[in-house]
């Protein structure tokens, strides 16, 4: 009994991946705001964008038109992920994008 020839019974290799019906729609550029929103979710991406300058939970909530509790939860996730830093100034806690958050936002 002879050994099967190399590649016998295997489908030909896929063509180079790219946009089209077999590979789905064209991908968004990695640094696009929409790609960041796809990764983080729109609310967290907006908060991260606003934190190019220091901001408080209350200030961010006012700018975004949402509750402070909602902003606080999002900031907690961003902080645990290392995307924002926080510093206390008296009774005020200010958040700012970390170097990693800056890279992701670029």
pLDDT tens-place string over residues 38-78: 788 889 999 999 999 999 999 999 999 999 999 999 999 99
Per-residue model confidence (pLDDT) at position 49: 92
Q: Which pair of tokens denotes residue 104?
A: 């992701």
Q: How far is CA 10 from the centre of its chain?
A: 38
| pTM across the whole model | 0.67
Q: Is the pLDDT of residue 106 over 70?
A: yes
* Tally of CB atoms within 10 A around 58: 13
């Amino acid at each position: 009994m002879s050994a099967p020839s190399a590649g016998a019974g295997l489908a030909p290799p896929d063509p180079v991946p790219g946009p089209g019906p077999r590979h789905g729609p064209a991908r968004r550029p990695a640094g696009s705001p929409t790609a960041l929103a796809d990764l983080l979710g729109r609310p967290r991406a907006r908060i991260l964008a606003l934190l190019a300058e220091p901001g408080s939970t209350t200030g961010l909530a006012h700018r975004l038109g949402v509750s402070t509790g909602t902003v606080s939860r999002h900031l907690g996730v961003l902080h645990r992920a290392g995307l924002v830093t926080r510093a206390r100034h008296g009774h005020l806690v200010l958040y700012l994008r970390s170097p990693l958050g800056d890279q992701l936002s670029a």
